[in-house]
Amino acid sequence: MEIQFSVLSSQFSAFSFQISARRFALRSFAAAGMATLLLVAGCRQDMQDQPKMMPQRGSEMFADHRGARPQVLNTVGRDQLHEDSYFYTGVVQGANGYRQELNVMPFPVTMEVLKRGQERFNIYCTPCHSRVGNGLGEIVQRGYKPAANLHDQVRLSQPISHYFYVMSHGYGAMPDYSAQLAPADRWAVAAYIRALQLSQAATPQDVPAGVPVESLKNIAAQQGHAEFAEPWALPATAIQAYPHIASEGTPGMAPANPADPAIKIPASKPAPAAAK
Ligand code: HEC
């Protein structure tokens, strides 16, 4: 009887142990889950509050309370070593101390460079200067200030590094293209402008003897577009925001039709001269 009881009791306790083991497993699973949750939340808090610099925020760490630190004096950061300053600026210091532009490329112009320049020019410059560089691109045809004609005497006589400088800093109504064009690309475009200038003023003597040369006029006529060989004019739909003011040197022109009520001329500007 005793034995029986003890067997029974041991069976019973084994059963109850089984139950409590299951409960324990469940509880410890829940506890582990909670702990993980707490841990994760705690982690995030730690990283959130860790000492670090936020852009443009103050900091108690430095005496001047600036989070953004000035560069350590007399150090050169990565990509800051611009030893060839002409390559990066397009100017040298002239004898008089002022910046001076040169008619010199900082690296040899290969066919590859010209092709790259042509591609970049066609992407970034043609909207205003047009593919041939006459300054009457699509945007100008819709009212932007006429861009410089790269074939007029002023532009032809500018040194090549002037083009680099204009691309780097903008010029008058023209924005700068330093963000879009790395220095090497700006030089490639400048070289291509020279090629463009040559191409637009080419004569039959410029091609090797014996190579047949056909005039643009003939080619345009053959293709049924004789007008392509004529000098471009802005279409009558071109609306200029400002009339041509000779004293300001703006190369703009009077609105296509000053009588058109759709064309509003700002009151602060003089009314356009009567169409000549
Ligand atoms: C959004 C239109 C626009 C684009 C795009 C543009 N230009 Fe111009 N550019 C102008 C205008 C307008 C002028 C004349 C500025 C003035 O008179 O205010 C000008 C003037 C110039 C000049 C003459 C500067 C001088 O000293 O006479 C050069 C060279 C030139 N651009 C080169 C470029 C090159 C190269 C690109 C492409 C990287 C380019 N431009 C893209 C509008 C543009």
Domain boundaries, the chain: 105-202
DSSP state at residue 97: S
pLDDT digits (tens, 9 = 90+) for 59-80: 888 899 988 888 999 999 888 8
Backbone angles phi, psi at 99, to 5 degrees: -70, 145
Nearest CA owner, ligand 1 atom 21: 148
Q: What is the pLDDT of residue 106?
A: 96
List, in sequence order, every beta strand (DSSP E) within 27-181: 91-93, 99-101
Q: Which helix or strand (DSSP H or E) is residue 59 part of? A: none
> Which atom, in ligand 1's list, is nearest to the CA of 121?
37
Q: What is the pLDDT of residue 266?
A: 45
Q: What is the pLDDT of residue 252?
A: 43
| Topology (CATH level 3) of domain 105-202 | Cytochrome Bc1 Complex; Chain D, domain 2 (1.10.760)
Q: Is 139 in the pocket of ligand 1 (CB under 6 A)?
A: yes
Q: Is 128 in the pocket of ligand 1 (CB under 6 A)?
A: yes
Whole-number Å distance, alpha carbon 136 to ligand 1 midpoint, is 11
Whole-number Å distance, alpha carbon 188 to ligand 1 midpoint, is 16
Q: What is the pLDDT of residue 131?
A: 92
**HSE, side-chain direction, 13 A CA sphere, residue 144:** 19
Whole-number Å distance, alpha carbon 149 to ligand 1 midpoint, is 9
Helix 183-200 and helix 111-124, axial crossing angle in degrees, nearest 10: 90
Token look-up 């200067």 returns 129
Q: Is 166 in the pocket of ligand 1 (CB under 6 A)?
A: yes
Confidence band (pLDDT; 50, 70, 90) for 105? very high
Q: Is 234 in the pocket of ligand 1 (CB under 6 A)?
A: no
Tell me the sheet residues that pair with 91. Answer: 101
The share of the chain scoring above pLDDT 90, in percent, equals 36
Q: Is the pLDDT of residue 81 over 70?
A: yes
Ligand 1 pocket: which of 123, 124, 129, 189 to mutate (most atoms within 8 A of CB): 129
**Burial class of residue 16, CB neighbours in 10 A (0-12, 13-18, 19+):** exposed
Tell me the DSSP string of 231-258: PP---TT---SS---GGGT------S-T
Longest dimension (CA), the chain: 132
Q: Is 227 or 271 the better-scoring residue by pLDDT?
A: 227
pLDDT digits (tens, 9 = 90+) for 197-209: 998 888 888 888 8
Q: Is 125 in the pocket of ligand 1 (CB under 6 A)?
A: yes
Confidence band (pLDDT; 50, 70, 90) for 228? confident
Confidence band (pLDDT; 50, 70, 90) for 114? very high
Q: What average pLDDT is seen over the chain?
A: 79
Q: What is the pLDDT of residue 44?
A: 59
pLDDT digits (tens, 9 = 90+) for 128-186: 999 999 888 989 888 888 899 999 999 999 999 999 999 999 998 899 999 999 999 99
Residues 159/102, Cβ–Cβ less than 8 Å:
yes
Ligand 1 pocket: which of 134, 155, 162, 166 to mutate (most atoms within 8 A of CB): 166
